[in-house]
A and B are shown apart, each in its own frame.
Chain A
Amino acid sequence: MAYVATRGGERAIEQSERLYRAQMGQIDAARVAEIEKALPALVDRVMGEASLYAPDLAALALAQSGGDLYEALLLLRAWRTTQPRLQIAEVVAPDAGFTHRRISAAFKDIPGGQILGPTLDYAHRLLATEVLEDQPYAPPAVEPAAKPAPATHPSLAEWQRAQGLVTTPEAAPVPRDEIPDLTREPLLFPAKRAHTLQSLARADTGGTLALGYSAMRGYGNSHPTVNELRLSEVEVMVAHPDGRRFSAGRVKTSQAEVVTTKGKGELRLGFTATLGWNEVKCISAATLDLNAPGAEKNSPVEEEFFLYHTEPVESSGFCIHFKLPHYVTFQSSLDNLRAAKTAKAEQAQPTDKKEETA
């Protein structure tokens, strides 16, 4: 053991970590609270990809990783996986929950109305440089509508079903306590529907966008129309050991349902829901879901292809693993290269040998 203290990388790795953390300085509760308050979109994105609804922990992970999203995710996922699974909450229907924003691109108006809610969609993207010159930007106060929007909105797909435009796939007869859990079971193909939706819910925003966008541009088989995009808050209903139902709290969720008219005489739907409000991810992932049935093998819209390649912790980890030394494998291949080269050189010799023997 004498060598352990004196040789090798242990000091180096400790010091390199210190160098990185020195950039961020001291992390305290105030910084974490400020991140949680100031960066809700980022906190939401991280919570969705971590599949852990805990804004304070997500903000802490962002503070601790200095904003490296993949590092923050890994911190949260590694923490999440050690936690016991105490309860399985009640199923939430897409139209349940307090709806903040619900829009449809498929119709001019829909039952319940188009509710814009909070969005930057129509903002002019002008950088507020005056803030840097000591003129703080305070957003103007919101003026409430004369008639408040209803708290809940019906699902548009329900109306389409009533019209005979879509067929509801038959629900798998799975008891609530036995819903397959991707975090406790491997993903195998053809994937269980629950695994597909869970996998998309925790998929990498950038990854789903890249593959979803490729499908939107024409590498898929259907073009999406946003049937319904919804941001809401839903109650997490659980059972107390004495049998009473109670709400353990509200979580922000986003869902996108995209639709295509390319079907056998009816509309086909693609769907994704995730924790937190993240519209780009839900629309992209729903587009992948829409394109998956009958997709060509090894194409970006094949389920196996996009679910494997949008897993943020796996893909980012594998990418950075190439920084690890690979000199043993390299040596092994070098040995082949040299031997093949020598053999080739020897093969080129025989003409001389023939002359010698002649």
Chain B
Amino acid sequence: MSLSDLTGRWKAFSYGFLDPSAKRELRRKMIKAVSVPGCQMPYASREVPIARGWGTGGLQVTLTLVKPSSTVKVIDQGADDSVNAASIRRFLSRVSGASETWDTLDATLIQSRHRIPEEKLSRDQILILQVPNPEPLRGVEPNMSTARQMHADADYGRMWLQLYEQMVRSGRVMLGASYPAMVNGRHVMTPSPIPRWDVKKLHMAEHLTILSAGREKRIFAVPPYTRVEPLVFDDVPYKVEDHAHLTCARSGVTGYFMNEIPQEDGSAGYEVSDSHFGIKAIDARDGGTPTVGQTWYRNGELA
């Protein structure tokens, strides 16, 4: 027996960059996360060739799930051409041989930072959300060990108190993105910093969502057909961003989440945040026949 019998043929990198032991751990932790929806599972979280805080958690999940026949879409703030999204997508196809796409309908894996696409995802798609801070309790309890204990005890009193205090001080709940939600009636999770507009898309969705925080080394999941209920008081309804009536200046679509663009004359213009959805609308307006999927929102209301 020699050392060369014990090791494989030398290659500079494994398929999909991560080595098999890292992928095995991630697969196991993903299964655990799916089994206990919304519960944060600690994992080793290997270093990857992009900086921590730049999507390393999402990247490790995508690298584990990707195969040559995959079609990968990567978005940042809803845009496929955002520099970091472009960089991650290029890295993914480079190390896996998977195809790249901008079209939500064509993608088998969608890695996203801060948005869920406007077109509905199906059971054949997996959404991977990059998570900066996996701990919904961080604002009321910065100590991770204490927060972990609070989840175990389903002790969410301080979260409710925080919501109540905001109502007393500001007249409404002031939580912006990352609105905490109760998953499957048991664990409060952060949906990652997606806008309130997107949180409801996770409720009883057909697709699997995996949320992964690389720097903080936590993975959690929302399996298909799982309840995801934003924390609200019975008599104070959940409010999404007031975008239902806004119209995109470039594509003409109304009733979707918008980016506000300050104008030189002091006014504000709007463009649809889901950039490829906007591209499809422009294509349709110009006489093309793009395939547009069913959307979660219709006429500015959740369908």
Residues in chain A within 8 A of chain B (CB atoms): 1, 3-4, 7-10, 12-13, 74-75, 77-78, 80-86, 183-190, 241-242, 297-298, 304, 308, 313-314, 316-321, 324-329, 331-336, 338-340, 343-344, 347
Contact = CB atoms under 8 A, between A and B. Distances in A.
A1 B100 contact: yes
Contacts of B82: 8-9, 325
Contacts of A298: 142-143
Contact of A336 (B80, B142, B172, B257): B172
B51 A321 contact: yes
A332 B176 contact: yes
A75 B48 CA distance: 9
B3 A335 contact: no
A8 B86 contact: yes
Contacts of A86: 3, 6-7
Given A304-B143, A324-B84, A336-B174, A3 B52 contact: no
Contacts of B25: 184
A56 B147 CA distance: 43
B171 A344 contact: yes
Contacts of B101: 1
Contacts of B6: 86, 241
Contacts of A347: 171
A190 B17 CA distance: 32
Contacts of A316: 51-52
A2 to B, nearest CB: 10
A306 to B, nearest CB: 13
Contacts of A190: 145
Nearest to A12: B83
B273 interface: yes
Contact of A13 (B87, B144, B175, B177): B87
A4 to B, nearest CB: 7
Nearest to B83: A9
Interface string B21-53: 110010000000000000000111111110111
Given A304-B143, A325-B82, A333-B177, A320 B7 contact: no
Given A9-B83, A331-B259, A340 B172 contact: yes
B117 interface: no
A80 B171 CA distance: 52
B98 to A, nearest CB: 13
19 contacts: A4-B100, A9-B87, A74-B51, A78-B47, A82-B19, A86-B6, A183-B44, A185-B44, A186-B217, A241-B6, A304-B144, A316-B51, A317-B53, A325-B76, A325-B77, A327-B77, A328-B259, A331-B260, A332-B177
Given A3-B81, A335-B242, 9 more contacts: A8-B83, A189-B144, A317-B54, A324-B113, A326-B77, A328-B193, A331-B258, A332-B197, A335-B176
B interface, over-half SS? loop
A324 B81 contact: no
B294 to A, nearest CB: 23
B195 A331 contact: yes
Contact of A333 (B5, B113, B142, B176): B176
A85 B44 CA distance: 15
Interface in B119-169: 132, 142-146
Interface string B246-280: 00000000000111100000000000010000010
Nearest first, the 6 A-B pairs at minimum CB distance are A8-B81, A317-B52, A321-B53, A333-B176, A9-B83, A186-B42
A141 to B, nearest CB: 42
Contacts of A327: 77, 259
B90 A10 contact: yes
Contact of A84 (B2, B7, B143, B239): B7
A71 B145 CA distance: 30
B137 to A, nearest CB: 14
Given A10-B86, A321-B132, A327-B259, A314 B52 contact: yes
A82 B194 CA distance: 32
B200 to A, nearest CB: 14
